[in-house]
Structure 1
Amino acid sequence: MQDFEEKDRYKLAKKRVDNERGFYTHLSFYIVINLIILFINTHSENQGFRDWSQPHLYITPILWGIGLLFHGLKVFKNNFIFRKSWEERKIKELMDKDDTLDVL
């Protein structure tokens, strides 16, 4: 019975790691592709940095960023930073370390 529970825990942990890796891959592509788009748009012969009011400079990062936000919320919904459980875990971690309490 315990072996079965261990396999289930492993499968859930593996799925969680796969989801986080997928999010970080998505984030990496978002950063790289948008930097390339910005570089191409700002180094074109006719415009350069002179005209930042063009909407095509912002549409892709904004719309893709919204999709990335939803992807991140889906992946990290249970572990969203600064939740109460995170605070309690961090307090316990700091209390376990002797050298961190003398900072004050």
Structure 2
Amino acid sequence: MEIQDLSNNRKYQKAKEKVEAIKGFYGNLLAYCIVIPILALVNYVTTNFPWVIFPALGWGFGLAMHGFGAYGYSPFFGKAWEERKIKEFMQKS
């Protein structure tokens, strides 16, 4: 097997993983958009305390983190951080 084939295979696998992550994010987003309004309706009908805020904020935060990961944005561990760590570990070896 040639090096070019391995490189193409790695690129394909990485692209496939990215597509799966984005697909998972949209599935999560769709579920959020269906479930939270149902919970809000249940909350409105059953009590005056707005408890729906807690699952909406909790799931919303998780959804945002999922989206950041799926689209490659990391406010804490971005590409520059990854590159620095890779270089650091390569120099130690």
Question: What aligned pairs does 1:7-46 form with structure 2 within 5 A after superposition?
Answer: 7-44=9-46
Letter paired with 1:68:
L
Question: What aligned pairs does 1:24-103 form with structure 2 within 5 A after superposition?
Answer: 24-44=26-46, 47=47, 51=48, 54-78=49-73
Q: Which has the higher contact order (CA 8 A, sep 6+)?
A: 2
Root mean square deviation, CA, Å: 1.6
| Identity among equivalent pairs (%) | 28
Structure number with bigger Rg: 1
Tell me how far apart the structure 1 counterparts of residues 11 and 58 of structure 2 sit (CA, whole Å).
36
Q: How many residues align?
A: 71
Consecutive unaligned residues of structure 1, counting only runs of 5 or more, are 79-104
Question: What SS does the aligned partner of 1:55 have?
Answer: coil
Consecutive unaligned residues of structure 2, counting only runs of 5 or more, are 74-93
Counterpart in the other structure of 2:84: none
